[in-house]
Chains A and B, each alone.
Chain A
Amino acid sequence: MNPALFDLVVAVARIAVMLAFCLTLVVVFTWVERKGAAYIQDRRGPNRAAIFGIRAWGLFHPMADALKFLFKEDFIPDRAHRLFYQIAPMFALAPVIMTIAVIPFGPDVTLFGRRIALQIADLNVGILYIFAVSGMTVYGVVLAGWSSGSKYPLLGGLRSSAQMLSYEVSMGLSLMGIFMVFQSVRLSQIVAAQGGLLFGVLPKWGVFVQPLGFVLFLVAQYAEANRTPFDLPEGESELVAGYHTEYGSFKFSMFMMAEYFHMVVGAAILSTLFFGGWQFPYLGDTGFLFPGGAGFALPPALVFLLRIGSFVGKVVFFAWLYVWVRWTIPRFRYDQVMRLGWKMMLPLSLANLFATGLILLLPGR
């Protein structure tokens, strides 16, 4: 096969696989959110949509929603800035989709004698690319709020942008310890380094090396995604619906899609940096090897499937954690959010940075 053509096919195939995986999770999680909320609140949740009488626990509701949104009247309010009003949902959705590029979703595979990394692009800047691209989603929120020409979206957009900026600082700082331990910002190397053992017993996952960093990053992720307990931008009780008050039809659903996509990507980043990505505990290239010295061999195909399954399982769990937290914890007040961001998260992440530095300076590290 022509090598250039091979590269092209591989590039497109990897994008197709990862995008299909994430979009499926996005669709499924709009359903999981409502169903989970229902069961947490002792209700049954959506179960009416049916195709040929098959209800399938309401699994067709996301489909029904998409069709309904599509056929709703798509209006631009008279006072809105017509161009920016149209661009804002694109700015919300497109950057989030782009962040999936550097997430490794499986170990290297050999195909036609060539090694292929299961990662859309193995960039050497890795996590910096994610920060750079996801930083652009703030524009979506600000533009939506400002261009709607109405006061509730404006206030919601302002709140949201101030909140996202505040937590972006601690988000970057809380990851610094991970980079110091694994000595790289390239995600494939960070995942590979997490295959080892810590003290000969625990898998060398980010969460065991950087427990405080994990908690700080988790909180910052929730604030960045504007999810409860940080969903004040859309605090219904005072701001109607926040920055997307004036949006309807499919543009509104684009903001929703962006939120769920953010959730899925956030779960993928969390599992990649702190839970070993596709690494399965105690599973080497040839089979299991437990700390005591015991172990057994497995065929390579099974090892590969276990690793892919491990990544998928972690992502689904952390995406579910977002839903779980949302229906368990009440919303913060705005001054509490800002106090937590600047007076707790920032000093704590700096302390974590120094503690990591001191421990790494100890002899024998």
Chain B
Amino acid sequence: MSGLLASLQFSSPYFPVIVLMAVAVGLSAGFVFLSQWVGPKRYDRTKYSEYECGVDPLTTSTVRISVKFFLVAILFLLFDLETTFLYPWAVLYRSLGLFGFVEMGVFVGILLVGLVYAWKKGALEWQ
């Protein structure tokens, strides 16, 4: 036991994160199981069918989805990746000076052209 205790790095900053993760997952899983275990169970076909305002379901959940949602996902990937590149640049900005400003201006400018293109093509229009 003491050997195991000594081998663990309690002072590492990531140790409390692991503990917190265990607490968070344990708490959420516990709630789900508790909820299932405590409440009553009485099966009823209507009760267990999906929601539709007081009548039998009119359509199933296999509805067609607008392609706009996929466009948003692609644009998100593009710009979130851009932000990821900006983090280290922002932290080091003061030591980079004018060089850093111009370099990032070019990088962001190229992506901005992409945004303007998507904008003009109507990818950002929702009716």
Task: Assess whether B61 is in contact with A150, with CB atoms less than 8 Å apart.
Answer: yes
CB closest chain-B residue, reference A135: B80
- Contacts A15-B16, A71-B38; A8 near B10 (Cβ below 8 A): yes
Instruction: List the B side residues contacting A74 at CB < 8 Å.
Output: 35-36, 38-39, 41
Instruction: List the A side residues contacting B125 at CB < 8 Å.
Output: 335
Interface 9-mer from A32-40, A43-51, A301-309, A336-344: A336-344
Task: Assess whether B20 is in contact with A245, with CB atoms less than 8 Å apart.
Answer: no
Q: Which among B16, B76, B127 is the interface contact of A101 at CB below 8 angstroms?
A: B16
Q: Contact flags (1/0) for A38-80 with B, using CB distance below 8 Å?
A: 0000000000000000000000000000000111111111110
Instruction: List the B side residues contacting A154 at CB < 8 Å.
Output: 61, 63
Task: Assess whether B42 is in contact with A73, with CB atoms less than 8 Å apart.
Answer: yes
A82 to chain B, nearest CB (A): 11
Q: Which among A12, A72, A123 is the interface contact of B14 at CB below 8 angstroms?
A: A123
Number of residues of chain B lying within 8 A (CB) of chain A? 71
In the complex, A166 Cα to B92 Cα: how many Å? 27
Q: Contact flags (1/0) for B96-127 with A, using CB distance below 8 Å?
A: 01100100110010001001000100001111
Instruction: List the B side residues contacting A254 at CB < 8 Å.
Output: 28, 31-32
A146 to chain B, nearest CB (A): 8
> Most chain-A Cβ atoms within 10 A of its Cβ — which of B5, B90, B92, B112?
B90
User: Interface SS of chain B: helix, strand, loop or mixed?
Assistant: helix
Q: Contact flags (1/0) for B11-34 with A, using CB distance below 8 Å?
A: 101111101110111011101101
CB under 8 Å from chain B, chain A span 239-296: 240, 245-246, 249-251, 254
Task: Assess whether A166 is in contact with B76, with CB atoms less than 8 Å apart.
Answer: yes
Asked whether any CB of chain B lies closer than 8 Å to the CB of A192, the reply is no
Q: Which among B51, B79, B86 is the interface contact of A246 at CB below 8 angstroms?
A: B51
How many Cβ-Cβ contacts under 8 Å join chain A to chain B? 214
Q: Which among A101, A338, A357 is the interface contact of B17 at CB below 8 angstroms?
A: A101
- Contacts A168-B76, A360-B93; A158 near B69 (Cβ below 8 A): yes
Instruction: List the B side residues contacting A172 at CB < 8 Å.
Output: 80, 83, 86
In the complex, A90 Cα to B30 Cα: how many Å? 9
Q: Contact flags (1/0) for A4-31 with B, using CB distance below 8 Å?
A: 1101100110110001000000000000
Seen from chain A, the residues whose Cβ lies within 8 Å of a Cβ on chain B are: 3-5, 7-8, 11-12, 14-15, 19, 69-79, 86, 89-90, 93-95, 97-98, 100-101, 120-124, 128-129, 148-152, 154-155, 158, 161-162, 165-166, 168-169, 172-173, 176-177, 179-180, 183-185, 240, 245-246, 249-251, 254, 334-335, 338-339, 342-343, 346-347, 350, 353-354, 357-358, 360-361
Add 14 more A-B contacts to A15-B16, A72-B39, A151-B59 (CB < 8 A).
Answer: A5-B10, A7-B11, A12-B19, A93-B24, A93-B31, A97-B27, A101-B17, A122-B13, A128-B87, A154-B61, A162-B69, A168-B80, A185-B91, A246-B50
